[in-house]
Structure 1
Amino acid sequence: MSTHIVVGVDGSVPATEAVGWAAADARRRGLDLRLVHVGPQWLHDGNAEHCARMLEEAAERARAVAGGVKVTTELLSGNVAEELIRESAGADGLVLGSRGLGGFAGMTVGSVSLAVAGHAAGPVVVVRTAGTAGHGTVVVGLDGSDDSRAAMEYAVEQARARHARLHVVSAWQVPVFSPYAVAYGGLIEDAVREEQAAARERVTPWRQANPDLVITDEQPCAHPVSALMDAAGTADLVVVGSRGRGGFASALLGSVSHGVLHHVTCPVAVVRPRAEERS
């Protein structure tokens, strides 16, 4: 079992927020913290002292938040996304700022965060702003896929560590029918009721397995991204699978997780089942 969280540090404001978020998470869940800065060798050769100082400042911030948590730092050379993905293999999770110093100011989520979220071995938390509201709610999207079940497991752990309510969102959309399909209205209504019932039923085993948690659920008729955006307004963390039932098998980051990363402002966790967890 992994015993540490990895945080990518680059001196940007979102990365600084990510350090604070990860330190608080490590304290709550009793995990160590590993801060890494990745850059090409030529950059480190000329700026090793600057990079080391940046890491140490991040470590001091982390220790101030995390208390007695063990905090270590390391300078790594190579491609940023590739090195962070490699780090994820041995970590409980990976935490990143939404975009780094190299990103365009108008972008909400940078290319590195998107690449890592789609390829990392486990949970990736992308932090735009850590937030201080303390809503006491973790929101998770559940659609029955392997990825959403892994997301539920992570969300349960987060809710328990935070003593928070877990709110499960299972959004669905009415299929678009030809105007000549009016005669099938009753069948459509039956299908909608069956989908809602199946979504509610998917939550039942999680309630039974976690009687210590308050688990609420909803089945809105809306696009999943819109439904999760609405729920995120009073959430401390939104958790989604990397891709759901509607995704292509080759797509490592589905449209819902991609949309949530771009539009939800609170921290977002994207969870892929580890290789041994896939059914």
Structure 2
Amino acid sequence: MAGRIVVGVDGSEPSLKALTWAAGQAALTGDALQTVIGWEYPASWAALMPGVPPEFDPERLAKQILDEAIDQALTPAQAAAVTRTVVGGNAPQALLDAAEGATLLVVGDRGRSGFTAAVLGSVSLHVTQHAPCPVVVVRGRTGA
């Protein structure tokens, strides 16, 4: 009985490596592959980003990032089989919610805003502590 592998994607190099690894694992196990990206407005949206055009759509931008990441990291056949999930909400919670009932959750070691001196980014650290299923953290660049 095939399961489901959930992978967090934000377009960063580590998330692309996580997506590639998860696709390979799904091919080995026969599991379905679900990609997830979360987006949210910053708490002080208006103050931080004055002059943002009213037609700016962060959900559409998140979907575009997800689509481009999938096209970059996967073959066309793999990309066609992927479930794409865009969630309005913070990334850790979006991943934890998607991981309910999954066989595996895969994330990169840090995302776009990663503090490079940390071993793990905030999202990967959070999901490894709270996930309802096993978690694989795929490292981006290694070494200096």
Normalising by structure 1, report the TM-score.
0.42
**Percent identity, aligned pairs only?**
40
Structure 2 residue aligned with 1:4 = 4
Q: Distance in 1 between matches of 2:81 and 2:126?
A: 28
Following TM superposition, where does structure 1 have runs of at least 4 consecutive aligned residues deviating by more than 3 angstroms?
65-69
Relative to structure 1, the CA distance from residue 54 to residue 107 in structure 2 (aligned partners, 3 Å threshold; closer, same or farther) is: same
1:123 CA drift (Å)? 0.6
91, 95, 103: which one aligns with 1:80: 91
Identify unmatched segments of 5+ residues in structure 2: 46-55
Paired residues for 1:105-254 under 5 Å: 105-129=116-140
Structure 1 residue aligned with 2:64 = 53
Aligned length: 130
Q: Distance in 2 between matches of 1:41 and 1:2?
A: 36
Structure 2 residue identity aligned to 1:7: V
SS at match of 1:108: coil
Q: Distance in 2 between matches of 1:56 and 1:111?
A: 23
State whether residues 99 and 112 of structure 1, in contact with CA within 8 Å, keep that contact through their aligned partners in structure 2. Answer: yes
Structure whose alpha-carbon radius of gyration is higher = 1
When the two chains are superposed, the root-mean-square deviation of aligned CA atoms in Å is: 2.5
Structure 1 residue identity aligned to 2:132: A
Q: Distance in 1 between matches of 2:115 and 2:79?
A: 37
Structure 2 residue aligned with 1:91 = 102
Could you give the per-residue CA deviations for residues 7-45 of structure 1, whole angstroms, max 9, x where no partner exists?
Answer: 1111111111101110111111111111110111579x6
Relative to structure 1, the CA distance from residue 13 to residue 63 in structure 2 (aligned partners, 3 Å threshold; closer, same or farther) is: closer
Report the structure, 1 or 2, having the larger helix content. Answer: 1
1:66 CA drift (Å)? 6.8
Q: Distance in 2 between matches of 1:11 and 1:62?
A: 10
1:48 CA drift (Å)? 3.0
Normalising by structure 2, report the TM-score.
0.77
Q: Distance in 1 between matches of 2:74 and 2:82?
A: 7
State whether residues 59 and 72 of structure 1, in contact with CA within 8 Å, keep that contact through their aligned partners in structure 2. Answer: no
Could you give the per-residue CA deviations for residues 40-87 of structure 1, whole angstroms, max 9, x where no partner exists?
Answer: 1579x6333322121112222454187487211011011221221111
Identify unmatched segments of 5+ residues in structure 1: 131-264, 266-279
State whether residues 24 and 66 of structure 1, in contact with CA within 8 Å, keep that contact through their aligned partners in structure 2. Answer: no
